Each structure stands twice: as C-alpha cells, then as structure tokens.
Structure 1
C-alpha cells in the first residue's frame, strides 16, 4: 500500500515536472511585461515581475518546448528581470540562449542591448543594436535605443569634442529616423527631445535647438502621459524658455507619477513658483499697485529715457513691436533696463526682471553669462535672432504662507501674471554698450532628470 502510494506520488510529481509550459502562460507573461515596460516600477509591478520570474523558472521549463517557444520563454523571463533596477547575469544568459534560437529577431537584440547597458557595457550595447538594425533597418525600438545609447556613449566613451558632437548628431538622426517610420511613437519623440537637449548643451546652448527639444517633448507627452521623465525634462526646458507656470505644472505631474524617484520635481516646482512670486513682487515694488499712481508714472518717466536708436543707426524696438517683428530673415534690436536679479547668482540661465522704454516688464533669461557681468540698472542691448522673445501668461497658485503663530495658510486663488520672456546669450548681448567680457562667459550646463 505504502509502496503503491509512493509510486503514484512519484509518477504524479514526474508528470508535473515534465509538463511543458503552456503557450497561453507565456502569452500572459508577455502581456504583463509589456504593460510594465517603460513605466515607473511600483511595489505591485515588482511583485508581478518576481511572480513571472518564479513561474518561468520552476522545474525545467524549457523541456518539451519547440525552439520558437523556448525563445519566447527565455525572452519574457529576461525582460521580467530587466524590469528590476539591478543588472541581472541570469537575464543576459537567457538572452544569449534566445538569440541563438532566434538570431534574426531584432527586438531580442534590443532587449540584449538594454541588459548590456545595465552592465555598463556601452560599446557592446551599441554593437548589439547595429546587429539588430542589420536584421531590420526599420525596427523603431532599435532606433530609439540606439539614440539613447549614442548619448550615453558620447558622455562616457568619447574623448574629443568633435567625436562627442558627431555622436550627439547621430543620436538626433536616429531618433528622427524612428519618427519617420512611426510618427505616433512616443518613445521616439522622447528620444529626440532628450537628444536635442544634450546637443543644445554640446553646441554652447543653441536656443533654436532648445525650442525644437520642447516641441519634441510636447509630442512625447501626448503619447506617453505615464512617463515622469518626459514631464520632468519638458519642465526643465520650459523653465529655460521662460514658461514658468508650464514648468511648474510639468514638475507637479512628474512628481505625481513618480513621488519616490522624483522628489526633486517637487522641490523644483516650489522653486519655480517662488520665482514667479519674485517677479510679481519686484514689478509691484517698482511700479506700484496702480498703473496711474505717482510711483508708476515716475517709473515710466525713467524708462522713457532709454535710447530709441543704437550706435550705427539701429532702431531699438519696444517689446510691443518686438513680439510681432522677430523673424528669421532679418535682425532687430531692443534695449532694456535691468531692474533686479531674481534667480540664484550661479544658476543658468540667470533670471532678471527688466523693462523697456514703454515701461513694459519682461523676464530676461541670460545664458552662459556670470551674474557679475550684469548689475542692477544696467542697460542691455539685445539682437533677435539669435535671441528669442515669447509671450507667457503665468497662472499659478502662490506658495503657502505662515501666519503669526507659524501655521501654514494655503492660497485659495491663483494669480495671473502676463510677462514676455526674452532669452539671450553672450553672442547677442551688449551690456551698457559693450560686449560681455570673455572672463564673464561660462561653460553651458543644463540639468535634466536623465539623458538615458
């Protein structure tokens, strides 16, 4: 009796071990991994990944499967491991086996590149993507991944400036190629946006490239509204272009999507809101509460003394005419009086409150210039292009204020501040009639969530 029971149990166990993994199980795992891929990994997502890894590793799961099904199981198990933050040697081993079974599958090569990148083997990851595109030149995931890898390669491997610039330009080209194949691919638009940001920095803060990066990230956000990195990076660009309330909204969205990983986004939102409050405070202090007050009239009288014509006979346009006059086929000039620096003195760009001769206020954003070069009450002459001007209506909720007992009182109503932004750099800026001195010109920098 005992022997028969033992024999039956052994036979049942043996049958269980030898039972091939069902194709329906693999399909369900693939669907789950696809849903988690590219998203913030929550505790629930990690639990799902661990569950798939355990189920796909139980017993001898490859036994009894044909080559194609073996490859699918190996790939989904590797992708589940790649969802986790750390590099996985087991994932790389699974992908190596899968690629021997399916050497012509471009997406498998893309997954291998992701694994190699986690191992910090950037050159190998790039070579793998070249192999993927050899199998399928129009593989959009491979083109997007190659764009990202080239950025990382430029930052970590390239030693010469020309080599770095060439890699960055290729990164942009690969992202554009992906968009040309699939215009609705949010990953491709995101890759283009970040590539353009890094190229902007590499070329000394080319503002035209920064505006293109913003447009690419707008497209990416429409298609990947679950991706916090896109919103954080777009917030950085918007802040740099003077769209402070838009930046605040994007920082808030990024933090909501990834509160654990993007605590910096909440700090940045607070800083941007404080910047808007500083603009409003300076404007109120300089011009008074009422446009008809004696303080406002005195301010406009002082501003009216700004010149109409620069040396050489160039007309200096007021902001009201400048907004409609700036185009790519001619150069126009304006003159502004600097009223106050409202950003930290080490930040790029520097943010000033300035005004034109009609008494209209602007936010003046200056790249690559040390704060010592532009003092309060300086007169600055700016050419367009390469400088740019854009109108922004900032709608924002003021930060909580402490009452006499130290309790924080939340604001209930939003404030609205209409403020054109002028963005410039040393190539188009004269301070008190003189070019910015070389020792006041800084190396460009721009911090984003990630360039990967």
Structure 2
C-alpha cells in the first residue's frame, strides 16, 4: 500500500505544470464570473450590487489591458479583444454606448463571432432599437442554431409584441423559438424558463384567457427548476407564482412569491404575498358574512324563471364535479362584487337556486359587465373546492371559474364587445 502511494506521489511530482492561461482566456473567465454575479447576487440594497459589478468589471478590464499588443494583431485576435471589452462594459442594466462601439467593431472584424452578435443585440435592445436588436439575433442564428440566441430572440419578440396590432401572432413566434431552444438542450434550465415566460405572456395577450397556457407555463418552470444553475433565478419563482395565482392555486402561488422575495427582496414579491392574503381574507369574509334570509330566498327564486336559449342542462353547484362541467349551466344571483388589487379576474359572491353560496371568478370582462343583483348563467363551469392553508390560517370555499366571455350570460344576454378586456403582459421580461 505504501509503495503504491509513494509511486503516485512521485508521478505527481514529475507531471508538467498546467499551461499558463493567456490574458484573453483569463478575461473570458472574468467576464463569465461577472455575468454570474449579475444573475445570482440580489442584495437588499441595489447600490451594493452596482458597486460589486463595477469592481469586478474594473478587474476584468485590467486583465484585458495586460494583453501584449502583439497578441491582438490579427483580425481574429482583435475581434475577441473588442468583444470581451464590450461584453464587460455591457453587464450593467443601462445602455452603454462604449459597449456598443466595441461590440460593433468585434462583429465587423469577425462576422462569425456569434457571442458578439448576441451581446450586441442585447446592448442595442437596451437603447430601445428593437428592430436592430432583432437583426443582430437573426444574423447570429444564420451562423447555426444556438439556444442562447433563440432564447433572446424569443424574449425580444415578447417585448415587440407589447402594443403591436398582431401581438398574439408575435407571441406565438416567441413560443416557437423558445421551443426550438428547449429541443437543442432539454436539460437547459434557462431555455425552459424562457418557454414558461412565453406561455405566460401568451395567456395575457391572446385575449382568450386560455388556462392551458398557464398549465404549460407552470410545467416549463418546473422543468427549469431541475437545473441547479437556474434555481438561483428569483424571476423563475416570481413568474411561476404568477401563473399559479391565475390558476387559483393560491397556496403554491404564496410559496412561490415567498421564495422569490427571499432570493431578491427588490422584486416586490412580498407585496404579492400580501395581495393574495388580502384577497383570501376578503373572499373568506364574504362567504362567512352572508346569512340566509327570506329576502335572499325571494331574490334567488327569480332564477327559476330564467330561460337560456342553449342546450345546456340547468344545474346547481351541489351536483357539479371538480373540474370542467361540460353541457351544464349553473344559474346564479350576484350578491356582492369583491374588490381587490389585481387586474383580473373579477370576483363575485354568488348564490344558486339552492341558496348555496360560491365565489365566482370571471376572466376577460370589465368590472362594469356584471353588477350586484344581476342574474348569471355560467356555461361549462370550471368548479373547485378551494382549501388553502397558510401561516396557521385556513381558507375553504367553493369556486366557479369562467375563463371566456362566451361562457357567461348576464341577465340572459351575452356580454357586449365593449365589456370584453385584455390584460397587459405580466411576465418579467428583460434583456
């Protein structure tokens, strides 16, 4: 045993030392470390992060400046030098003209330098020139499929979709490119995260409030979380919690927002936690505060006279099964509008013919579309018994969710077009 150990020691002693890394190689490592710090360091005070990035960037530039002139003579060497200088200068959130100048030189010297096109696109994006940024990413893709480029292109398309006429179509392109990135490396957490964002954005801009998009989104975020390098991204937890919130998976949403708040206090996720708790308190109070009365019985009795021109079978909440109830229509009386802090959905305390109370959540309609005292017919209702536990507090109530305006009649009439609404994009989306 001892002779084997001695032999190993002798062998180790005679092994040649590893080759010294060149200043360019060391700068490339420093640039990677710089971006790792940007993406994983979230102190409570943003000034602390800015100072840390500035110090690390200065160190990286010092290493780059130690490169002997003879090692940046050829166009290829100079291209890498310009690329690294531009990449280091562009680590900060605001646009930096000097970074653009260096990155532009890099791609002119070596148009095949894909990473330089990627950085140049991101840099130009920051100054608001989205078309030129798109051009950079497209040129980079012309050199060959690349998951990083596809993800940035997908993100950029979502930014371009905001306020555009064909935004739903542009977001579908974003989903397509996000899927292509995932297919190139199904273990890459960032690609899955980007796909989750694309689906989440599609939910908001399509105007159809298709909750399947939210299910796809959550699944993509869960796959992203399997990658250790992505687990440190607070936006992953924030956006997944946002999807869960709109799926009315409130307990999971609370856990997600709490995780995001712990990872990055500056995200405002703790405010989202308070919003959900406030909402649940209001829903719980509305359910508990209503007492049966003769007045209610009289009010609800008018529902029996409602005639809906549809093949749907009239039902009360007591006979619904959990999930989607096709070919069924629940008739209800709106007792109370429950005001809260989010754009959507609208929440109403509602009562059916059996005088059973439930919470009605309605997507895609303005709050003036349904008023207290209105009769509603809920077609193909999505029914759940919500049971949420959080910090020693428990909330339990019955719920019907209406995803599309086509699923509801108000006083036996379809909602007019001016009462149909789209929401703005909510996924955290930044270059």
Describe the superposition over 1:279-309 as per-residue Cα deviations: whole angstroms up to 9, x where unpaired. Answer: 111211225xxxxxxx599989987986599
Please show how residues 229-268 of structure 1 align to structure 2 within 5 Å. 229-260=235-266, 262-263=267-268, 265-268=269-272
Which of 69, 73, 96 aligns to 2:104? It is 96
CA RMSD across the alignment: 3.5
1:417 aligns with 2:413: no
1:81 aligns with 2:89: yes
Match of 1:395 in 2: 389
Inter-partner Cα distance in structure 2 for 1:426 and 1:51: 54
Retained in 2: the 8 A contact 1:148–1:191?
A: yes
Inter-partner Cα distance in structure 2 for 1:194 and 1:355: 37
Please show how residues 311-390 of structure 1 align to structure 2 within 5 Å. 311=308, 312=310, 314-319=312-317, 321-324=319-322, 326=324, 331-344=327-340, 347-357=343-353, 361-384=357-380, 388-390=382-384
- Greater mean alpha carbon deviation, residues 235-244 or residues 318-327: 318-327
Please show how residues 293-308 of structure 1 align to structure 2 within 5 Å. 307=304
Cα offset, 1:133, TM superposition:
0.8
C-alpha change, 1:368 and 1:206, in structure 2 (3 Å) is closer
Please show how residues 150-189 of structure 1 align to structure 2 within 5 Å. 150-155=157-162, 158=164, 161-162=165-166, 164-189=167-192
Retained in 1: the 8 A contact 2:378–2:402?
A: no
- Greater mean alpha carbon deviation, residues 143-152 or residues 309-318: 309-318
C-alpha change, 1:23 and 1:450, in structure 2 (3 Å) is closer
Match of 2:423 in 1: 445
Retained in 2: the 8 A contact 1:308–1:317?
A: no
C-alpha change, 1:213 and 1:56, in structure 2 (3 Å) is closer
Describe the superposition over 1:121-141 as per-residue Cα deviations: whole angstroms up to 9, x where unpaired. Answer: 21111011111111112x001
Q: TM-score, normalised by structure 1?
A: 0.76
Inter-partner Cα distance in structure 2 for 1:25 and 1:195: 36
Cα offset, 1:429, TM superposition:
0.4
Structure 2 gaps of 5+ residues are 1-20
C-alpha change, 1:350 and 1:190, in structure 2 (3 Å) is same
Cα offset, 1:383, TM superposition:
1.7
SS in 2 for 1:64: helix
Match of 2:143 in 1: 135
Inter-partner Cα distance in structure 1 for 2:251 and 2:322: 23
Cα offset, 1:380, TM superposition:
1.6
Match of 1:216 in 2: 220
Structure 1 gaps of 5+ residues are 1-19, 288-294, 398-412
Match of 2:9 in 1: none
Describe the superposition over 1:329-358 as per-residue Cα deviations: whole angstroms up to 9, x where unpaired. Answer: x54332333332222499432112334455
C-alpha change, 1:215 and 1:323, in structure 2 (3 Å) is farther
Match of 1:63 in 2: 69
Aligned residues between the structures: 400
SS in 1 for 2:265: coil
C-alpha change, 1:216 and 1:391, in structure 2 (3 Å) is farther
Q: TM-score, normalised by structure 2?
A: 0.79
Cα offset, 1:34, TM superposition:
4.5
C-alpha change, 1:417 and 1:73, in structure 2 (3 Å) is farther
Inter-partner Cα distance in structure 2 for 1:46 and 1:246: 32
- Greater mean alpha carbon deviation, residues 227-236 or residues 275-284: 227-236
SS in 2 for 1:434: coil
Describe the superposition over 1:424-444 as per-residue Cα deviations: whole angstroms up to 9, x where unpaired. Answer: 3322101232222344x1431
Inter-partner Cα distance in structure 2 for 1:373 and 1:307: 22
